[in-house]
Amino acid sequence: MAETVPYRPKTGDIPTNPGVYRFRDESGRILYVGKAKNLRARLTSYFAPLNTLHERTRRMVTSAASVEWIIVGTEFEALQLEFTWIKEFDPPFNIQFRDDKSYPYLAITLGEKIPRVMVTRTRKIENARYFGPYTKTWAIRETLDLILPVFPVRTCSEGVYNKAERAKRPCLLGDIGRCAAPCAGRVTPEEHRSIALDLATFMTGKNDGHIKSLKEKMAQASAEQDYETAAKYRDNIQALETVASKSAVVLRDEVDTDIFGIASDELSAAVQMFIVREGRIRGVHSWNVDTELDVSVSELVDNMLRTAYDSEEIPPKEIIVPEIPEDSVALSSWLTEIRRERLSDDRAATVKLKVAQRGDLAALASTVKHNAQQALVLYKTKRRSDYVTRTKALSDIQEALGLPESPLRIECFDVSHLGGTKIVASMVVFEDGLAKKSDYRKFSIAQARDDTDAMNQVLARRAAYLTGLEEDSEKKASSFSYPPGLFVVDGALPQVNAAAQALKDAGLSHIPVVGLAKRLEELWMPGEKFPVILPRNSEALFLFQQLRDEAHRFAITFQRASRKRDINTVLSEVPGMGPAKVKAVLAQFGSVAQLRKATVEEIAQTPQISPAIAQAIKDTLSQR
């Protein structure tokens, strides 16, 4: 492999100023856009020896044919230019968060002569006020059902309104009091606009004043014995309080903030955003992305903020993030500029990025992160359950590995041990891209020199079953006897070679085997000097990752169960130890290793364990 790429610029030619750089391929297409406080320091890191680069970075660098840069005055200017270019050129190696769904909003079209309230999934209506996003459309409609009798803003389309205006007769909503009917002249356009503005004020969370005013009017109507009007005010108050209660109070009333949480793995990332206004959660938003280059949490924060506020969203004075990015000063300046521009207020407060350390904010930030983790799981599950996606994954695997046909059955193996002891292995099975848990198998390995020897033993045992079945035609067939189209082992070239040798010894070398190295997600074929590299966004790599993670989970679960059985066995041999006392000791210490470290006095503190039994436990463990 070459030391570096031929288009590498001389180090002395790269300036040390802040700037933005672009990698292009042979056709001139922009592959990646980045920013740097020091261009020379950043760019030289891309031109280190190729074998030292992370595989994803190496693929980007080798795919490019040239690099160029532009010097700017400050890091803030570099941030702005980077955002502009990413949006304009959509480089394939840059992170681009994708909204996992189109969220509905409640919009009030204050730009129209006769404003209306509507449910929409677009935020491009000129001079409209948006509230949300909401997770469900029915939640908005339920809210409208409650507040329209209080704020009777029109909800009809332009065509319906013009027809009613010509007829000078309102529709049914006007007759039942859910619209002020400006079309029929019941209120003037100015009065209707005032109602729409009151609704907008209420939806921002500033509802205490309006509810207080209604209560005063209700009391006055009751004092005047106008009970019908008083009842109407009472119903309106109940409706508004019901709507307000649906936005759970989570913080102090004066708290306005956006809270972000991130969950990521080697291939994907998910972002969750909670919009908190007046101490209430007013909306949630989430995005997903398949990460192309190896990125840190700091870089993910950079990109998620650009995605969140690149539209019409107004940044609050305080934004809670999981980690403060390196260019936090520039980001804060950029967000402040957006806030002042969208509020049309040059004196608007500075936007600050913070990490929640304690208190209610930290608790809510933990909830947001948990939501992001769930969103990531759902995103991966959604991809895995799609038939077209699974078919493409199997087809891509066939092409990448040069297999004669798609591997409809894949068996993946993983070895797990505890410091070289308690060696176990797992076998998980995917058929047609889906887990077939009834075919999972567990292996206990009495002794092995290392992971490669353990892997060789496991594959030899699996192969022996297949060959034994072929030799004994009368042997009862089962799902375990069905030969796979591909063996996958968790590991790099040594583990793959060990597995291939076991198959060769058993006369099954016609069944292909491949290893998945976790560090760089590389695929290793037996005897090959270089791995097979799948695109980071490929469905094939996603399926391999699912196989490897499931095999690892199954192996760890088996090993923990084995350790638990061991400690049960050891404790059961101690005189005076019954099932209840064994359970109590397990709950207190959890493992033999922790129990060995404990003193007699510490063991005796366990419920139901006397000092004499504690001493007996200690003596038994010391003899083993």
Q: Which two tokens stand for residue 123?
A: 């935020």
Pick from 290, 293, 270: nearest CA to 539: 290
Name the pLDDT band for 272 (thresholds 50, 70, 90): confident
Please answer whether residues 121 and 102 qualify as being in contact, where contact means their C-beta atoms are separated by less than 8 angstroms.
yes
For the chain, count helices (H), then strands (E).
Answer: 20, 19
Cβ atoms within 10 Å of 204's Cβ, excluding its own: 14
* pLDDT for 585 beyond 90: no
Q: Where are the alpha helices (DSSP H) in 90-188?
A: 137-147, 158-167, 172-175
Residue 111: per-residue pLDDT: 85
Check if the beta carbon of residue 282 is closer than 8 Å to that of residue 132: yes
Residue 205 pLDDT:
59
Sole residue written with tokens 């990460």? 291
Distance CA 108, CA 197 (A): 9
CB neighbour list of residue 581: distance below 8 Å, 6 or more residues apart? 571, 608, 609, 613
- Cα distance between residue 180 and residue 410, in whole Å: 65
Average pLDDT of the chain is: 80
Q: 23 by DSSP, 3-state: which?
A: strand
Residue 260: the pLDDT is 92
What CA–CA distance (Å, rounded) separates 591 from 601? 18
Q: Which pLDDT score is estimated for 563?
A: 60
pLDDT one-digit tens code per residue, 80-90:
778 777 877 88
Could you identify the residue written with the tokens 């059955």?
409
Burial 474-507 (b: 16+ CB within 10 A, else e): eeeeeebeeebbbbbbbbbbebbbbbbbbbeebe
Q: How is residue 299 written in tokens?
A: 């870089």
410 pLDDT above the threshold of 90: yes
Radius of gyration for the chain, computed over Cα atoms and rounded to the nearest angstrom = 32
Among candidate residues 64, 56, 63, 21, the one with its CA nearest the CA of residue 40:
21
pTM score, two decimals? 0.48
pLDDT at 592: 65
DSSP strands (E only) in 232-351: 257-264, 268-277, 280-290, 318-320
- In this prediction, residue 427 carries a pLDDT of 92
CATH class of 11-94: alpha beta
pLDDT digits (tens, 9 = 90+) for 521-551: 788 899 888 888 887 777 888 888 888 888 8
Q: How far apart are CA 465 and CA 22, in angstroms?
A: 55
pLDDT at 326 over 70: yes
Confidence grade of residue 610 (pLDDT, cut at 50, 70, 90): confident
Q: How confident is the model at residue 246 (pLDDT cuts 50, 70, 90)?
A: very low
Instruction: Please tell me if the domain spanning 257-382 has the same topology as the one spanning 394-560.
Output: yes
Query: What is the secondary structure of 514-528 as a DSSP string?
Result: EEEETTTTEEE-TT-
3-state secondary structure of 405: coil
List the domain boundaries for the chain.
11-94, 105-204, 257-382, 394-560, 573-622
The tokens of 72 are what? Answer: 């700017």
Structure-token pair, residue 78: 């570099």
What pLDDT digit, counting tens, does each position of 468-489 carry?
755 555 555 565 677 899 999 9
The answer to whether the bond into 325 is cis (omega within 30° of 0) is no
Q: Measuring CA to CA, how many Å separate 86 from each of 5, 43, 65, 400, 414?
A: 24, 18, 19, 30, 40
Please determine, for residue 67, whether its predicted confidence score (pLDDT) is greater than 80. yes
Architecture of domain 257-382: 2-Layer Sandwich (3.30)
Give the model confidence (pLDDT) of 33-51 as tens digits.
888 888 999 899 898 888 8
User: What values do phi and psi take at 120, rounded to 5?
Assistant: -145, 155
Question: What is the band of 176 on the pLDDT scale with cuts at 50, 70, 90?
Answer: confident
Does the domain made of 394-560 have the CATH classification 3.30.70.1070?
no
**Phi and psi, residue 528, nearest 5°:** -85, 145
Q: Where are the alpha helices (DSSP H) in 90-181?
A: 137-147, 158-167, 172-175
- Give 306-336 as a DSSP string: HHHHSSSPPP-SEEE-SS--TTHHHHHHHHH
CA pair distance 283, 261, nearest whole angstrom? 14
Provide the CATH topology of domain 573-622: DNA polymerase; domain 1 (1.10.150)
Distance between alpha carbon 262 and the CA centroid of its chain, in Å? 6
Q: Which 8-state DSSP code applies to residue 558?
A: H
Q: What pLDDT is stored for residue 249 in this prediction?
A: 44
Higher-confidence residue: 266 or 314? 314
Q: How confident is the model at residue 412 (pLDDT cuts 50, 70, 90)?
A: very high
For 336, counting Cβ atoms within 10 Å of its Cβ (0-12 exposed, 13-18 middle, 19+ buried), the class is middle
Rounded mean pLDDT, 179-191: 89
Cβ-based neighbours of 402, under 8 Å, separated by 6 or more: none
**β-strand partners of 274:** 259, 284
Proportion of the chain in helix, strand, coil states, percent, rounded to 5: 45, 20, 35
Strand residues in 28-140 grouped as ranges (E)? 30-36, 66-71, 98-99, 105-108, 117-120, 129-131
